[in-house]
Each structure stands twice: as structure tokens, then as C-alpha cells.
């Protein structure tokens, strides 16, 4: 009986096996490469003016609400108009090249286009004011903004991440007085959190309902 397979067959089998491995690996790598997690955390976003929260908040000690004026009243915290920047920068660093787009905007009246850093999908209706009112600190979602030379996203802002707090708000709540404080740490978060949930009338059952965030 002659051999069923010629000697070269073994070579083809090996080639095929290697090809499968290569293809699978390539496929996997392509998948990883192309499908980034939609929300990249801790990656600085380019801006027309390299605005530094580190400098303004950390070094100069400007309060959050000086610029983000509507954070306590509206869903949107507010990005300041150029006129707010000009309260200082009409006097300070007016000749710096990095501020040229700012000055140009001010003189021409054409607004600056900032690149959005934090974003939730269209079907999520996030509201800043209620979070502030219920004792969620800026730092809980935005991270140590006072240490960011260029603003970056500090949290993934995925549904899972949102729910981790909505399910257990006591782990993250702080007294209203310290909401804007970047350095505040609870001595005993567990005790404090439970007390604040009661004090601020936080309805935990309602927090995980679809209608709270989706409309």
C-alpha cells in the first residue's frame, strides 16, 4: 500500500497551523488595536490653549466655581466665557504665545473651540447640580484636577462605574462644605457616608432606577 500523503504534506500541515496561529494573533491584535475602550482614561486631551488646572487651581488657588459657575444650579457645570479668562489675562501674560488664541478670540469676538474631555453618551442625562447638592465631591469623578497640567479624564464614566457609586453612595459622599475640596479625606468614610445618606435624604432605591439617568 502506497503512502496516502506525500512527504511535503507535513510541511503544508505545519504551514497551515502556523497560518492559523498568525491569523488568530493578527485578528486579536487588530481587534485590540482598533477597538479602543471607548473611554480612555488619563490621556491628556489637546486644547487650543494648553490650559493648566494645575497652575490655576493648584498654584493660584482659584476656586472651581469661579469658572464653572453653573455647577450648583444646572446640569452643565459651565465652561467660562473668554471674558472670565480676561479678568486676569487682560493684565497677565498677555504677550505669551500660548495665549495668542485667547487674545485673538477676545479681540475678534470669535469663540474658542475647546475639546471635550468628559463625556457621557447621548442617552445618559447627567446633572451636576444634584451631585453637588448631595455631597459628591468634584474630585470623586474628576480626580486631582489640581495636579493636571493638561486636563484628562480621571474616570471611565462607564455605566458600571456610575453604578458603583449609585449602588453604594455612602462610600463616596462627603459633607457639602468639602465638595470642592481637592485634598479632603474622611476619617471614617463608612460611618460618615451612612450618616450623610440619611441626612441628605438619598433614596438609594431610586438611584439605580433606569429613569434616574435615562429618558
Q: Site residues (CB under 8 A) for another protein?
A: 34-36, 38, 40, 45, 69-70, 73-76, 78-84, 105-106, 109-116, 119, 121-123, 125, 127, 129-130, 133-134, 200-201, 203, 205-206, 209-212, 214-215
3-class SS at 136? strand
Shorter beta-carbon distance to another protein: residue 84 or 168: 84
Least gap, CB of 18 to another protein (angstroms): 27
Query: 3-state class of 116 per DSSP?
Result: coil
C-beta closer to another protein: residue 71 or 139:
71
Looking at the Cβ atoms of 43 and 190, the one nearer to another protein is: 43
* Closest separation in Å from C-beta 68 to another protein: 9
Residue closer to another protein, measured from CB, 10 or 38:
38
Spatial CA neighbour of 195 closest among 173, 167, 164: 173
We find the least distance from the C-beta atom of residue 202 to another protein, in angstroms, to be 9
**Residues 108 and 57: beta-carbon distance below 8 Å:** no
What is the spatial distance between Cα 128 and Cα 159, in angstroms, rounded to a whole number? 16
Cβ contacts of residue 147 below 8 Å, gap of 6+?
54, 58
Q: What is the CA radius of gyration of the chain?
A: 26
Amino acid at each position: 500500500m502506497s503512502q496516502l500523503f506525500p512527504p511535503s504534506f507535513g510541511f503544508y500541515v505545519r504551514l497551515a497551523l502556523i497560518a492559523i496561529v498568525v491569523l488568530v494573533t493578527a485578528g486579536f491584535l487588530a481587534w485590540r488595536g482598533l477597538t479602543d475602550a471607548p473611554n480612555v482614561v488619563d490621556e491628556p486631551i489637546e486644547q487650543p490653549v494648553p490650559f493648566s488646572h494645575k497652575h490655576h487651581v493648584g498654584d493660584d488657588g482659584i476656586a472651581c466655581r469661579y469658572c464653572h459657575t453653573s455647577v450648583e444650579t444646572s446640569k452643565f457645570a459651565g465652561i467660562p466665557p473668554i471674558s472670565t479668562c480676561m479678568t486676569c489675562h487682560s493684565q497677565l501674560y498677555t504677550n505669551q504665545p500660548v495665549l495668542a488664541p485667547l487674545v485673538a478670540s477676545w479681540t475678534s469676538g470669535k469663540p474658542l473651540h475647546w475639546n471635550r474631555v468628559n463625556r457621557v453618551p447621548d442617552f445618559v442625562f447627567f446633572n451636576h447640580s444634584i451631585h453637588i447638592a448631595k455631597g459628591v465631591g468634584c474630585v470623586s469623578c474628576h480626580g486631582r484636577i489640581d495636579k493636571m497640567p493638561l486636563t484628562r479624564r480621571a474616570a471611565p464614566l462607564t455605566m458600571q462605574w456610575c453604578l458603583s457609586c449609585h449602588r453604594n453612595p455612602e462610600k463616596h459622599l462627603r459633607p457639602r462644605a468639602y465638595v470642592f475640596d481637592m485634598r479632603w479625606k474622611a476619617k471614617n468614610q463608612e460611618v460618615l457616608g451612612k450618616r450623610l445618606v440619611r441626612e441628605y435624604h438619598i433614596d438609594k432605591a431610586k438611584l439605580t432606577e433606569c429613569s434616574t439617568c435615562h429618558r
